[in-house]
Chain A
Amino acid sequence: MNEADFIQRLKEHKQEAFGQLVKQYQKMVLNICLGYVHNRDDAWDLAQDVFLEVHSKIDGFRSESKLSTWIYKIAVHKSLNYIRDNKKTKTTLRFDQKGDNEVSVLNIRTSENLQSDFKIENDERKKRLDSAIDSLPENQRTAFVLNKFDDNSYKEVADIMGLSLSSVESLLFRAKQNLQKKLLECYKNLNS
Chain B
Amino acid sequence: MNSCENIQNDFIPYIEENLSESRMMKIDGHLATCSECAGIMAELQLSFQLIEDEKFTQVHDSFLAGIEDKIAGENRRGIRIHFMKWLSYAAVIAIGLFAGYLISNSLTRNFIPVQQQISSDDFYWNDLEQEPIESFFMNENLF
Is residue A125 contacting chain B, with contact meaning CB distance below 8 A?
A: yes
Contact A19 B8 (CB under 8 A): no
The prevalent SS among residues of A at the interface is helix
Dominant SS at the B interface?
A: helix
Do A129 and B67 touch (CB < 8 A)? no
Q: Does A126 contact B (CB under 8 A)?
A: yes
Contact (Cβ within 8 A) A179 B71: no
Bound-complex Cα distance A5 to B56 (A): 29
Interface size on A, residues (CB 8 A): 35
Query: Bound state CA distance, A180 and B14, in angstroms?
Result: 12
B39 at the interface (CB under 8 A from A): yes
Q: How many angstroms between the C-alpha atoms of A138 and B94 in the bound complex? A: 54
**B-side contacts of A149, CB under 8 Å:** 51, 55-56
Q: Please, how many angstroms separate the alpha-carbon atoms of A145 and B24 in the complex?
A: 25
Chain B positions within 8 Å of A56 at CB level: 74
A184–B47 touching, CB < 8 Å? no
Of the candidates B46, B50, B71, the one whose C-beta lies within 8 Å of that of A55 is B71
What total of chain B residues lie within 8 Å of the partner, measured CB to CB? Answer: 28
Q: Does A31 contact B (CB under 8 A)?
A: yes
Q: Please report which residues of chain B, range 46-65, place their CB below 8 angstroms from some CB of chain A when the two chains form the complex.
A: 46-48, 50-51, 54-59, 63-64
Option from A23, A34, A122 in Cβ contact (under 8 Å) with B56:
A34
Which A residue's beta carbon lies closest to that of B51? Answer: A148
Are B63 and A22 interface neighbours, CB within 8 A? yes
The stretch of A43-51, A91-99, A158-166 that contacts the partner chain: A43-51
Q: How far is the CB of B77 from chain A (nearest CB, A)?
A: 12
Contact in complex: B67, A125 (CB < 8 Å): no
Residues of A within 8 A of B39 (CB): 187, 191
Q: Besides A26-B63, A55-B71, A128-B47, 4 other CB < 8 A contacts?
A: A48-B67, A149-B51, A150-B55, A180-B11
